[in-house]
Structure 1
Amino acid sequence: MIEDRQPLPSTAPGTTRHLTSYLFAPDTTGPSVYLQAGLHADEMPGVLILQHLLPLLEDAEAAGRLHGPVRVVPLANPIGLTQWAHNKPMGRHDADSLRNFNRYYPEMAALIGDRLENRLTQDEAANGAVIRAAFAEALEELPSGTEAEAQRIALLRWSLQADHVLDLHCDHWAMLHLYASPTHPQTTSLLARCIGAGLALIEAVSGGNAFDEAHTVPWLRLRDRYGDRFPIPVGAFSATLEYRGQFDVDDATAAWDAANLMTFLAAIGVAAGDAGPAHPEPETLPLSGTVEILAPQGGVVTWAVAPGARVATGQIIGHVTDAMTRQRLAMTSPIDGILYRQELWRSCLRGQVLADIAGKEPGRSGNLLSD
């Protein structure tokens, strides 16, 4: 195992932060994997999962059971981890810019598009290597900018060379689900069946240039530009794994999730192992088919169903009660689907998003991810 510490630019005299990664089996030639957690620094399930995964990887490396390189970033956002207000973490948005830490990644296709004009050939595999080399070149040339911008660049330097990229997150209250591109449907299914995700939300471009799509959208853009002249690979597999809710943090669950990640590594040929995926096929639905449930008034939120429930059109899924007027308004589902997440707080203002339901029919456009 190789430990790599990347310093971030100091924001003030006497202060410094750094990112740490652990690289296992660097000299192996099999498929490569990158895993990170805590990009939203108020989301701890994934951070604990990686703490349980690291010793499993250490044992596998020592026993010669890793066939491909595995890089783990156990805490991908030291900036956000220190940003608290009123005894509550603000780890989702940068306190300085108010930007979501999981948005605004560099548009890699735009950065490297012109420099590929005289480098691509009719060899698809060679073109893949050329594109990855161009990614590395472009990232080295980017100015570091703010500390948060430097953090984004540093994470991409590690991750853009990997064949499989897994970004571990969680929601407020939620079932285990994932977000992925449509470019690798078999791998998406395999991952979900290995980790036990009951829902896979699929979209080619969700908007906002989140970390996972910073690894898939550039290949799509380059195929659009060069695909009629040169063979361009579909590129890396990348997914955001939503490990339930913010309070689903305990060692037993994290150890189970870490073991399931090892099953996935074995299934894709990165680690030795005989066990296959033990969970059923996920429900696979378009992210653009999700609908948001808005609070009909301000007040106290109560739920009639839990995350993971299948709901029908018109079904009452919860209520909002105005304690001043005693008015109690029902929230109903506008579609048949799966209620996969609910907001953390049990109080609300009128018009706030309180839950999301995944449906079969695409209906939304633009930026599909909540900020």
Structure 2
Amino acid sequence: MAIDLSWQVPGDAGNLLSINAWRFEGDGSGPRVHLQAGVHADEIAGMLVLHHLLPRLQRCQQQGRLKGCVTLVPQANPFGIGQFRQGKLLGRFHEASGQNFNRAFDHSLAMERPASNLAQWQKSLVQLAADADLVLDLHTDDEALPYLYIHRSFWPEQGLALAAALQVDVVIVWEDGGDGSFEETLINHAAPQLAATVELRGQADVSDALAQQDADGLWAWLCINGVVDEVAAISEWQGDAVDMGCMETVLAPRAGVLVFEKSLGDQVEEGERFARIIGRPGDPDTEVTLHAAQTGRLVTRHRERLVAQGAVVAKFTGTRLSDSYSGGVLDP
């Protein structure tokens, strides 16, 4: 049977918030794995993937085929999941402090006694994963192809099998972080053999069919890493690996109605138009056209079609260092 590792942290109003977690112990001959979803609470797809994976792990354990140890945290963020405002879930930032939920984990870990309830939650989440050999943090983008975000030390040796198992379209390789994300904090303070962020498409891509497809990919990855006593075959990976500095992030030069002229995955040539923004509908003089800074594939798109000035409109792969890249993380 799975070990219930659920715990509670104080909420912003003093109420107790619960985080559900389960650990499946194998015979000890395989690696230790930590899988979590929903650190950004408005990114739902990974929650459903782990919901599909949990009974499969339970059956595997009962059949004596589980070699490693697997910890699942299907809904990791109890703060953000309750931040509904006028029918919309605002789960990326902590409403009380304005902090991005996936930032400053390193500061929380450094505190002997966390200074806030949010820091207490972050520290407990990192400590739960600290002894794992393999760690995956499941996220989604606005609208996106499936992609991995992975540190250079793990690519391609440890990461290639994961990319192939999940059949992601793009792998973004990063080196300099500094934002204290969950993944970066584990890399800096623990000793995982692999820690990566998996972007499961876009926020609206939540269905049983997609979740089962992704759960199957994760299962194959567990098998080939010796966590499960089962033979799994994975297809050769056909995607693109891109250094983070070569990614092109396009910001909205003005607010207005956003109209895309290219679809996700499309190849766009340098200088080619891919979208336009209409500042004041009815006034053609307020329309601006957006062009690709270099040749590459359209990886992400802004989900809302009324965009604010300065918002991320799209991200593209590239083959040279982006003129707009100044180091650090890909997103704000």
Q: Distance in 2 between matches of 1:368 and 1:144?
A: 25
Secondary structure in 2 matching 1:91: coil
Q: By how many angstroms is 1:324 displaced?
A: 4.0
Secondary structure in 2 matching 1:338: strand
Q: By how many angstroms is 1:361 displaced?
A: 2.0
Selected match of 1:148 from 118, 121, 141: 118
CA-to-partner distance for each residue in 1:99-137, whole Å, 9 max, x for gaps? 0000101259xxxxxxxxxxxxxxxxxxxxxxxxxxxxx
Q: Which piece of structure 1 moves more, 37-46 or 210-219? A: 210-219
Q: Distance in 1 between matches of 2:44 and 2:160?
A: 25
- Matched with 2:167 is 196
Q: By how many angstroms is 1:348 displaced?
A: 1.6
- Matched with 2:5 is 4
User: Are the equivalent residues in 2 in contact too, given 1:288–1:368 (CA < 8 A)?
Assistant: no
Q: Distance in 2 between matches of 1:183 and 1:66?
A: 28
- Matched with 1:104 is 104
Secondary structure in 1 matching 2:319: coil
Give the % identical residues.
30
CA-to-partner distance for each residue in 1:122-173, whole Å, 9 max, x for gaps? xxxxxxxxxxxxxxxx77x721322211110111111111011100000110
Q: Distance in 1 between matches of 2:230 and 2:27?
A: 20
Q: By how many angstroms is 1:86 displaced?
A: 2.1
Aligned length, in residue pairs? 326
Selected match of 1:330 from 279, 286, 289: 289
Distance change >3 Å, CA 197–CA 368, structure 1 → 2: same
CA-to-partner distance for each residue in 1:215-258, whole Å, 9 max, x for gaps? 22347xxxxxxxxxxxxxx7431110000001100111101110
- Matched with 1:184 is 154
Q: By how many angstroms is 1:10 displaced?
A: 4.9
- Taking structure 1 as the reference length, the TM-score comes to 0.83
Q: Distance in 2 between matches of 1:351 and 1:17?
A: 34
Q: Distance in 2 between matches of 1:157 and 1:149?
A: 12
What are structure 1's unaligned runs of at least 5 residues? 109-137, 220-233
CA-to-partner distance for each residue in 1:24-69, whole Å, 9 max, x for gaps? 0255231111000011001110111110010111111111111110
Q: Distance in 2 between matches of 1:208 and 1:318?
A: 30
User: Are the equivalent residues in 2 in contact too, given 1:28–1:68 (CA < 8 A)?
Assistant: yes
User: Are the equivalent residues in 1 in contact too, given 2:135–2:192 (CA < 8 A)?
Assistant: no
Q: Distance in 1 between matches of 2:90 and 2:250?
A: 24
Q: Distance in 1 between matches of 2:255 and 2:263?
A: 21
- The 5 Å alignment of 1:1-371 reads 1-13=2-14, 15-25=15-25, 27-106=27-106, 142-185=112-155, 186-218=157-189, 235-322=192-279, 323-327=281-285, 328-363=287-322, 364-371=325-332
Choose 1 or 2 for highest CA Rg: 1
Q: Kindly provide the amino acid, as one letter, of the partner of residue 81 in structure 2.
A: L
Q: Which piece of structure 1 moves more, 155-164 or 198-207? A: 198-207
Q: Kindly provide the amino acid, as one letter, of the partner of residue 50 in structure 2.
A: L
- Taking structure 2 as the reference length, the TM-score comes to 0.93
- Matched with 1:113 is none
Q: Distance in 2 between matches of 1:340 and 1:284?
A: 12
Question: Would you identify which runs of 4 or more consecutive aligned residues in structure 1 move more than 6 Å?
Answer: none
Q: Distance in 2 between matches of 1:179 and 1:51?
A: 23
Secondary structure in 2 matching 1:39: coil
User: Are the equivalent residues in 1 in contact too, given 2:12–2:96 (CA < 8 A)?
Assistant: no
User: Are the equivalent residues in 1 in contact too, given 2:277–2:289 (CA < 8 A)?
Assistant: yes
Secondary structure in 1 matching 2:183: coil
Q: Which piece of structure 1 moves more, 275-284 or 96-105? A: 275-284
Secondary structure in 2 matching 1:8: strand
